[in-house]
Amino acid sequence: MTDSDGAERIVIIGSGPAGWTAAIYAARANLSPLCVVGIPRSDPAPVLPGGQLMLTTEVENYPGFPNGVTGPELMHHFQKQAERFGTRVCDDDVVSCDFQAKPFALKLAGGKTLRARSVIIATGATANWVGAPNELRLAQSGGGVSACAVCDGALPVYRGKELAVVGGGDTAMEEATYLTKFASKVHVIHRRDSFRASRVMQDRLFSSSNAVAVWNKRLVNVLGGERIEGVELEDTVTGVRSTLAVAGLFVAIGHSPATDFLRDSGVALDANGYISLETRSCSTNIEGVFAAGDVADAHYRQAITAAGMGCQAALECERWLAGCGIH
């Protein structure tokens, strides 16, 4: 809903679990939110409206779906529910924001500028990929390549099988430790001869008898047709190539928050580019600007936690608007 001066009461940037949940709550509060859902792109890695779940096949850990649901289907349900209550959709990308003056100004890739009384940023974060052949193809098709062990590792297709994790930081240790509960063996592939992860995380992983380190190896290819059959590795010291037969590959080399468009906006970011929030809040350092989901959460990165933050952000935004006399 726009006010007499053409400003939207609330603009939500992003269309993953956080964005759509915020839209549902804002719409039910009669704020008629506008959701800027983004533009599909494929370089350097696929990014689709709907977030990372659009690249996920089976989702078994989202409440309410006892038999599981595909990521795209889940996001379709989210969007339809938000639209049912009056959420409007803008098929564009926000490329820059001016939060210094009010109403806020949001410049779109298509050239238009939106003006908004309040903004919820829910643009998420994208997984970093190695860039090996077949990696993204098998990730997108559900062929046994994933960037989230907690999301996918418990699926029946991985149980009792040999799996591989690529990475050497705390995230890789955490992902591999989780997989040891289900796999017959977990190979942790790292391009150096030591991990950069904290010692406590390493000790926790290698206290499991089915975890093994694969030192000085670089992933150069993912092998398999419809499903992964193994990985091709290159020794970073000798250059010799070898193959490792695995039934699943989990890439754990970090995530990149989608915050480039916030450069020079004044929104506070942490050292890794994630939005900094006020304690126990979805409020940013700028009044009227809120954030939710993976763009502000480098720890959990789950659909359910993102949705919860979307709810919080919408409630906080609604109360902030009410305090400004906007209903």
Known catalytic residues are: 148, 151-152
Q: Kindly give the interhelix angle for 170-179 and 199-206, rounded to the nearest 10 degrees.
A: 20
d(CA 83, CA 24): 8
Sign of the alpha-carbon torsion through 129, 132, 133, 135: negative
Please state, in angstroms and rounded to a whole number, the distance separating the CA atoms of residues 268 and 252. 26
CA atoms 51, 54, 60, 63: torsion sign = positive
Token pair, residue 53, equals 């779940």
Burial (Cβ within 10 Å: 0-12, 13-18, ≥19) of residue 18: buried
Structural element, H or E, at residue 217: strand 217-224
What single-letter DSSP state applies at residue 53?
G
CB count within 10 Å of CB 319 equals 11
From residue 137, alpha-carbon distances to 132, 145, 320 in Å are 10, 9, 44
* Distance, CA of 18 to CA of 311 (rounded, Å): 8
What are the residues facing 242 on neighbouring strands?
233
List all residues 6 or more positions away from 116 whose beta carbon is below 8 Å from its beta carbon.
7, 8, 9, 10, 11, 34, 103, 104, 106
On the CB side of 117, how many CA atoms lie within 13 Å of its CA?
24
DSSP letter at 204 equals: H
